[in-house]
Amino acid sequence: MKKRRIAIVAGGDSSELPVSLKSSEGIYSFMDKSRYELFVVIVQKDNWRVMLGDDSFTPVNRHDFSFDLEGKTCKFDFAYITIHGTPGENGVLQGYFDLIGLPYSSCGVLASALTFNKFVCNQFLKSFGVRIADSLLLRSGQIISETDVIDKIGLPCFIKPNAGGSSFGVSKVKTPEDIQPAIARAFKESSEVLVEALVSGTEVTCGCYKTKDKSVVFPITEVVTHNEFFDFDAKYNGQVDEITPARIDSDLSDRVQKITSAIYDIIGCSGIIRADYIITENKVINLIEVNTTPGMTATSFIPQQVRAAGLDIKDVMTDIIENKFQ
């Protein structure tokens, strides 16, 4: 059987570039190399290049996403997108692949664009009965007074980039004098800023993927940060306890999984997603955000949940790829 040629597309134009490159290493290690010919493709602004085995690079022809190898023009059969941030998480790269007819792993243009905009996505899901925290949106050039933040949202609150991830530019604000610096910090990462009420409780996250013939919702992970909140150091420098399955009762776990599956269908997702929640003391499940390009290092949430489900991550990767050819 001829191997399918797979592009593991990493890089991007945001602060999450190093995280994306780590995810590409994880995905490369997970995939079935007896079945697929794998190449890591780095996409950064005008510099698109394929990483070769000798640590050299060859450029990508952006007209058709092809590249030259040993004097031959090679084309990909499939793109596994693992860019966290623009252009791989917001629908831009998805639109390009749609134009050239290349199947890819993640959600389509609309679902990617929707989920990348935290405020719009959460307000959309709220209309379907999903519980979310109170929030307000600031666009570039807009200002808000400390009094308005306190009156409309309250303190403590979170101030974060509306489009972005890995907790870059996120602040937990406790005092009025910290509001404006936190807004300025978030605007450095995004042209829109989200001011969101604090919801206290147990933080959990749940992954899910669906194909034409199966629906898989993974066991839930409980996130216990050692820091003020689940910030960059907690996510990537080990300052957190990640407990899979989460220490919640089976009824509550079932509800989280059902909400995650419903969100997948409401948005019209494809590939693997991960939804993050806060569960309050009275067992109300509040959505934080939906991530359609979750981290895929060996220690990331999704691989942990796959193992806890008794599945092989190699088989999950194969499911996602082959689903596009059925």
* CATH number of the domain that residue 51 is part of: 3.40.50.20
76, 17: one domain: yes
SS3 assignment, position 307: helix
Say if residue 1's pLDDT is above 80.
no
188 and 211 co-located in one domain:
no
The lowest-confidence range among 10-24, 98-112, 206-220 is: 10-24
pLDDT of residue 227: 53
Cβ-proximal residues to 325 (8 Å cutoff; 6+ apart), any chain = 103
Quick one: which H or E segment has residue 207? strand 202-210
Q: Which of 31-35, 170-174, 189-193, 296-300 has the highest mean pLDDT?
A: 31-35
Q: Name the residue with higher pLDDT: 15 or 294.
A: 294
DSSP codes, 225-294: ESSSSS-HHHHHSS-EEEESS-SS-HHHHHHHHHHHHHHHHHHT--EEEEEEEEE-TT--EEEEEEESS-
- Res. 297 pLDDT band, cuts 50 70 90: confident
Last residue of a domain, one of 153, 176, 197: 197
Name the band, by pLDDT with cuts 50, 70 and 90, for residue 165: low
Using DSSP, how many helices (H) and how many strands (E) does the chain show? 10, 18
Same domain, 261 and 121: yes
What is the pLDDT, as a whole number, of residue 256? 98
With 70 as the cut, is the pLDDT of residue 229 above it? no
Kindly report, residue by residue over 28-79, the tens digit of the pLDDT. 999 999 999 999 999 999 899 999 977 899 999 999 999 999 889 999 999 9
pLDDT score of 15? 77
For residue 234, is pLDDT > 90? Answer: no
Q: Which of 162, 197, 232 is the last residue of a domain?
A: 197
Does 245 lie in the same domain as 167?
no
* pLDDT more than 90, % of the chain: 81
pTM to 2 decimal places? 0.91
**Does the pLDDT value for residue 313 go beyond 50?**
yes
Cα–Cα dist 275/210, whole Å: 14
CB atoms within 10 A of CB 18: 11
Residue 230 pLDDT:
46
pLDDT in tens, 261-271: 999 999 999 99
Residues 248 and 305 placed together within one structural domain of the fold: yes
Could you read off the pLDDT of 3-32 as tens digits, one per residue? 999 999 999 988 788 889 999 999 999 999
User: Taking the CA atoms of the chain, what radius of gyration do you get in angstroms?
Assistant: 20
Hey, is 126 helix, strand or coil? Answer: helix
Angle between the N-to-C axes of helices 250-267 and 109-116, in degrees from 0 to 180, rounded to the nearest 10: 120
| CATH code at position 157 | 3.30.1490.20
C-alpha 222/C-alpha 85 separation (Å) is 24
> Are 95 and 227 in a shared domain?
no
What average pLDDT does range 102-119 have in this prediction?
96
SS3 for 323? helix
Q: What average pLDDT score do residues 238-246 get?
A: 82
Q: Are residues 284 and 215 in the same domain?
A: yes
* Domain that includes residue 57, residue range: 4-105
117, 218: one domain: yes
Query: Same domain for 187 and 304?
Result: no
Q: How confident is the model at residue 319 (pLDDT cuts 50, 70, 90)?
A: very high
Do 262 and 178 share a structural domain?
A: no
Query: Would you place residue 238 in the very low, low, confident or very high pLDDT band (cuts 50, 70, 90)?
Result: low
Task: Work out the percent of the chain whose per-residue pLDDT is above 70.
Answer: 94
CATH code assigned at 233: 3.30.470.20
What DSSP string describes 39-60? EEEEEETTEEEEEPTTS-EEEE
Domain total of the chain: 3
Would you tell me how many other CB atoms lie within 10 Å of the CB of residue 28? 19
Q: How confident is the model at residue 235 (pLDDT cuts 50, 70, 90)?
A: very low
